[in-house]
Amino acid sequence: MPEAELLINVTNDAWFGDTIAPHQHLQIARTRALETGRYLVRAANTGMSAIIDSKGNVLSSIDQHVEGVVIGNVYPMRGITPFIIWGNLMVVIIAWVTIFAHFIYRRKYRYH
């Protein structure tokens, strides 16, 4: 992904109907933009289309079930973020350290 300068997300959210799923997908898209430090353009056939900047902010959007065009500027970005380098490894390490600490604590302070 370091070679990508812009992220594009084309999606079919129609089959979710009037649920919270399209809103969640927009939040996921914001997270991807933030993780990678790239602008993201999201096009959805039932609305919730957006332009998201490299910090995860929605710059321009269309609400769900609204016909229209999203207009805005996007800028190609370069470089790498910690997430691009490590991915989810840090989350996994923190989870294992927490589990290990829990077992040490239980063993040390177990009541007999």
pLDDT grade, residue 15 (50/70/90)? confident
DSSP string, the chain: -TT-S-EEEEE--GGG-SSSHHHHHHHHHHHHHHHHT--EEEEEBTB--EEE-TTS-EEEE--TT-------------S--HHHHHTTHHHHHHHHHHHHHHHHHHHHT---
What is the structure's pLDDT at 112?
52
pLDDT surpassing 80 at residue 93: yes
For the four alpha carbons of 13, 18, 19 and 22, in that order, the dihedral sign comes to positive
pLDDT tens for residues 34-89?
999 999 999 999 879 999 999 999 999 999 888 899 999 999 998 888 888 888 89
What is the structure's pLDDT at 65?
87
pTM: 0.78
